[in-house]
Amino acid sequence: MEKNVGTLDRAIRVSVALVIAGLYFTGAISGTLALVLGIVAVVLIATSFLGRCPLYCPLKLSTLKKSDTQP
């Protein structure tokens, strides 16, 4: 599996997931919205740590710079 998520993309994904978590734990979101956003946050964290986004593959996208790849 080839990585296709760059460093900045990963940072943004983690940041968005942390904002969602903050909204949930402060009680700003609840119910169905909290569940849906919670799932989104988990997916964002997973794709960030794996370095691979399955939605990028069919679209032939990559935010990974050549300097981010390991030889």
Q: What is the mean pLDDT of residues 14-34?
A: 97
CA distances from 42 to 8, 17, 48, 60, 71 (A): 18, 7, 10, 23, 29
Q: What is the mean pLDDT of residues 29-48?
A: 96
Query: Cβ atoms within 10 A of the Cβ of 45, count?
Result: 18
- Is residue 71 predicted with pLDDT exceeding 60? no
51's enclosing H/E stretch is none
Q: Considering only 23-27, 30-34, 65-69, which range has the smallest mean pLDDT?
A: 65-69
- Is residue 69 predicted with pLDDT exceeding 80? no
Please report the pLDDT score of residue 65 as a whole number. 85
Please report the pLDDT score of residue 11 as a whole number. 95
pTM: 0.84
